[in-house]
Amino acid sequence: MDFKLRKWDETDLDSLVKYANNNNVAKWMTNGFPHPYTHKDGEAFLSMIANDNPTKVFAIDVNGEAVGSIGIFPQTDIHEKSAEMGYWLAEAYWGQGIIPKAIDEIVEYGFRTFDIVRIFARPFSTNTQSQRVLKKAGFTFEAKLKKALFKNGEFMDEMIYAKFKNEKNI
């Protein structure tokens, strides 16, 4: 399916709330991604990222509508050469090949834009689809942190996947 990554815009508020307000999306996200997802939550998110320069968080746009998000977050201090990647996609678009391609684009952008050598993602152990997507995008499994996550009254393991700059001649 065709999509593009683009900067979020305040006009995306309605589609952001429409697609983010889904428990099947929220259950795979940190508690910073609320459920229910309200217009107030969307406004706060869009305000928080509005002045990022360079852009770190992109809308996943299908047919002119923001249906998800992907971001690259450079770390600080002794982790300054690494960046975390995070993403979500509207449930209606799952399984259509969007996220693996979006990951490829954000990885290329991240290595080109930031002074980093490693990009990592931390899916929940129960999110096997996200783990498959990361493997498909060339990420390597690095670690399993047992009972590192607690969400909705349940402990889960945290999985760490990473990709290095020199792995793709970027």
| CATH 3.40.630.30 holds for 4-167 | yes
DSSP state of 96: S
Q: Do residues 38 and 68 make contact, with C-beta atoms less than 8 angstroms apart?
A: no
pLDDT at 47: 97
pLDDT at 120: 98
What's the sign of the alpha-carbon dihedral 136, 137, 143, 147?
negative
3-state secondary structure at position 65: strand
Task: Read off the tokens for 6.
Answer: 């683009």
Task: Read off the tokens for 111.
Answer: 């290595």
DSSP state of 81: T
pLDDT at 168: 53
Residue type, position 24, single letter: N
For residue 108, the cross-strand partners are: none
pLDDT at 169: 43
Cα angle 101, 118, 162 (rounded to 5 degrees) comes to 60
pLDDT at 148: 97
Q: Do residues 19 and 68 make contact, with C-beta atoms less than 8 angstroms apart?
A: yes
Q: Which residues of the chain have pLDDT under 70?
A: 167-170
Indicate the pTM of the whole model. Answer: 0.94
16 membership: H or E segment, kind and range: helix 13-20
